[in-house]
A = this chain, B = another copy of it.
Amino acid sequence: MNGMKEVLINGFKGSAVAAGIKKDASLDLGLIFSEGEAVAAGVFTSNAVRAAPVLLSQQHIKRGRARAILVNSGNANACTGKEGLETARLTADLVARDLGIGAEEVLVASTGVIGAPLDRDTVGGAIPGLVRALSGGGLSQVAEAIMTTDSFPKISKFQGTAGGRPFHILGMAKGAGMIMPQMATMLCFILSDIGIERSKLQDALSGAVEKTFNRITVDGDTSTNDTVFALANGTANSSPLSESELETFKKGMFLVAEDLARMIVKDGEGATKLVSVKVRGAASREDAEKASRTVANSALVKTAFYGQDPNWGRIMAALGRSGIHMDEEKVSIRIDDILVVEGGLATGTDQETDAAERMKRDEFTVTIDLNKGGHESRVLTCDLTHKYVSINAAYRT
């Protein structure tokens, strides 16, 4: 799905350049453009410290329409105060002028070092070239330009039918890690040629994000810059979506987001394992959430994943400190289908040996049954490795 040829979607163009924001002369500035009007939806970081591009895009997206996304890597334009917000605004204005659209139709996103000013001349100087270079095939370059410590571009596609004609969804994302490590900024842009009301697009996006990007963790840290945009230009269908078509679209949004979310965790900083932590039988939805997130973020659990050790004592201890209602003697734990704990006790060394063997795989599932009720939750996580420490202990400059 990552092939260059396939990164196309009706009515959208893209381009990218190496503007010089990153020090290694790789692509660091990208532009996405919708040839016609498009409805727009967004989901932003829950961090109280929000980067300038987040603040500006939150203003612009209120209109529910957007035609361009300007994105840079190498600098987060976060903790940069009024100057930073002014830079975001000026660069959006330049894009709007060159494209002949309204400034409020331009969304912006950044990822990179926090607290250093984003040079507006560097960005501004590159914009005319970006606009000139726009092409249908250029979207694949945008997927590359948003990469930082990502080891591969993250692209996912879906095709469905609406009004008797095919519609498409194209998603691209960047995940955990900066070329100058800073934090696990997550950016995702989802483009579709479907015709859809803005409120329904927002619902579909919010629903998909809740079930996917909000259920992944690399290190429990949340970025100041996390941003997901969805644009839909309506070239595929002219009539309103039927209920079942809307469901198909929602499913497509979910699948694209899920696919990208898995790629992000798999490509998490230093990660060697993709682990799905499932909690079942919780007394409440909140308990299920707390339990799955506490286990998925525990440094001791994550190092045990790295060590391929079915160290369920660490899982029990994480559950115990998560603040949930639990009865130790009711807990069961499985590694994939291998039951290692039943009734709060070890099932035996044979099972542990089998589980250790299973944990040698790149992907496995830890299923915890609390046997306290009917609620469940799932979080995708990765292991905590030497490479994670190496990447994040490296000095920024």
Instruction: Tell me the A residues contacting B by CB distance below 8 Å.
Output: 46-50, 76, 78-81, 113-116, 182-184, 219-224, 298-300, 303-304, 306-309, 311-314, 316-321, 323-324, 326, 328-329, 341, 343-346, 356, 384-386, 388-390, 392-396
Which one, B224, B326, B392, contacts A320 given CB within 8 A? B224
Chain B residues within 8 Å of A320, by CB: 47-50, 222, 224
* Alpha-carbon distance between A299 and B324 when the two chains are bound, in angstroms: 23
- Count the copies: 2
Chain B residues within 8 Å of A306, by CB: 389, 393
- Indicate if the CB atoms of A304 and B386 lie closer than 8 Å: no
Main secondary structure of the interface of A (DSSP, over half): loop
Smallest distance from the beta carbon of A45 to chain B beta carbons, Å? 8
Given contact pairs A80-B345, A300-B219, A311-B182, A49 touches B393 in the complex (Cβ within 8 A)? no
* Alpha-carbon distance between A223 and B314 when the two chains are bound, in angstroms: 9
Known contacts A80-B345, A220-B298; 17 additional CB pairs below 8 A are A47-B320, A78-B313, A78-B316, A79-B316, A79-B341, A113-B313, A114-B312, A115-B312, A222-B317, A299-B388, A307-B393, A307-B394, A309-B394, A309-B395, A309-B396, A385-B389, A385-B393
- Indicate if the CB atoms of B115 and A183 lie closer than 8 Å: no
Closest to A46 in B: B321
- Indicate if the CB atoms of B183 and A48 lie closer than 8 Å: no
- Indicate if the CB atoms of B396 and A390 lie closer than 8 Å: no
Smallest distance from the beta carbon of A308 to chain B beta carbons, Å? 7
- Indicate if the CB atoms of A389 and B395 lie closer than 8 Å: no
* Alpha-carbon distance between A396 and B311 when the two chains are bound, in angstroms: 8
Closest to A270 in B: B389
Given contact pairs A48-B326, A223-B317, A300-B221, A390 touches B386 in the complex (Cβ within 8 A)? yes
Which one, B300, B308, B312, contacts A183 given CB within 8 A? B300
- Indicate if the CB atoms of A304 and B392 lie closer than 8 Å: yes
- Indicate if the CB atoms of B221 and A345 lie closer than 8 Å: no
Which one, B116, B182, B321, contacts A222 given CB within 8 A? B321
Chain B residues within 8 Å of A385, by CB: 389, 393
- Indicate if the CB atoms of A317 and B386 lie closer than 8 Å: no
Chain B residues within 8 Å of A49, by CB: 316-317, 319-320, 326, 328
Closest to A299 in B: B219
Smallest distance from the beta carbon of A221 to chain B beta carbons, Å? 5
Chain B residues within 8 Å of A319, by CB: 48-49
- Indicate if the CB atoms of B308 and A389 lie closer than 8 Å: no
Given contact pairs A115-B346, A314-B183, A299 touches B79 in the complex (Cβ within 8 A)? no
Which one, B79, B324, B344, B356, contacts A345 given CB within 8 A? B79
* Alpha-carbon distance between A318 and B222 when the two chains are bound, in angstroms: 7
